[in-house]
Amino acid sequence: MLRAAYVDLDGTLLGRAASLFHDGEGRPSMAGARAIEACLRADVELVIVSGRRSQQLHEDARLLGQPAFIFEAGAGMVVDGDLYWNTGDLIPRDGLTIHDQITASGAPALLLEHYVGRLEYHDPWHRNRDVSHLFRGHVDAAEADALLREHGHGHLRLVDNGGVHRRSEALTHLEQTRAYHLIPAQASKAVAVERHMRMRGYAREETIGIGDSREDLQLHTVVGTFWLVANAIATDPTIAAVAASAGNVRVAEDSHGAGVYEAIIETLALSR
């Protein structure tokens, strides 16, 4: 029986320009809304798992009628009004946010200097964040993590959170643009989802995950089945090989909200 669906927002549930009521091409679509309705009718908790800030997701979750959400790529979560950090020893202290402490470490400046012309802040969404430094560009996240470790920043990691459309003129030469979060190494969407499952008492086989990025894909290690929406393969063909190596990953035939609807409806049908 399906009891919870952990769903990414941008590039997954939401279509062009982050609209719930448009598909990836900007055409009007009710598929994402129908996916939410299906969860509500079946008493399935739909948990937003996003790179967005807590303040944004608080309102998003209220609009969807949901009591929990996971923010800033798993760095934090709110469950029934209570805030939980998944950032290990790096927590708000002495009047400084985790974001402030990461700034002071020099790690963001290191990445921007090393990847000049390939990485920049994801303006304006990088502002007023509690934890993560949000970038856009096109870099190898594993290579960036090695660079961070080499310079004494092994307590941080760079997360690939999927494709984005916005970029400055300095990045127009890149073949694609992706969003990256610099977060504490202990934090991840998978860690946050697993913690939420324990709090709710959900068994693994009672849950699914749905997303479009490599960070989303890691949910397959904690949920019963993970679904990639079709546009994930279109924007990052290499992710297909990673998905194929995991026994519990499926690729939806549809993109964005329609892909989420497909995953929800098919799972509900199988659980009857």
Positive or negative torsion for Cα 54, 73, 164, 46: negative
Average pLDDT over residues 1-19: 96
Listed in sequence order, the residues at least 6 apart from 166 whose beta carbon sits closer than 8 Å to its beta carbon are 122, 136, 177
Going by DSSP bridges, is the β-strand pair 207-211/4-7 parallel, antiparallel, or unpaired?
parallel
- What percent of the chain stands above pLDDT 70? 100
Q: What is the pLDDT of residues 127-153, one digit of tens each?
A: 999 999 999 999 999 999 999 999 999
The answer to whether 254 touches 229, Cβ cutoff 8 Å, is: yes
Q: What per-residue confidence (pLDDT) applies to 61?
A: 97
Listed in sequence order, the residues at least 6 apart from 115 whose beta carbon sits closer than 8 Å to its beta carbon are 137, 139, 144
Going by DSSP bridges, is the β-strand pair 119-121/133-137 parallel, antiparallel, or unpaired?
antiparallel
Q: What per-residue confidence (pLDDT) applies to 90?
A: 95
The answer to whether 196 touches 203, Cβ cutoff 8 Å, is: no
Taking the CA atoms of the chain, what radius of gyration do you get in angstroms?
Answer: 18
Q: Hey, how many other C-beta atoms are within 10 angstroms of the C-beta on 262?
A: 21
pTM here is: 0.94
Q: What is the pLDDT of residues 50-109, one digit of tens each?
A: 999 999 999 999 999 999 999 999 999 999 999 999 999 999 999 999 999 999 999 999
Distance CA 144, CA 187 (A): 17
β-partners of residue 211 are 228
Q: What per-residue confidence (pLDDT) applies to 271?
A: 78
Distance CA 116, CA 123 (A): 16
Q: What is the pLDDT of residues 209-233, one digit of tens each?
A: 999 999 999 999 999 999 999 999 9
Q: What per-residue confidence (pLDDT) applies to 166?
A: 85
Summary mean pLDDT of the chain: 96
Q: Where are the domains of the chain?
A: 4-86+188-270, 98-184
CATH hierarchy code of domain 4-86+188-270: 3.40.50.1000
Q: What per-residue confidence (pLDDT) applies to 51?
A: 94
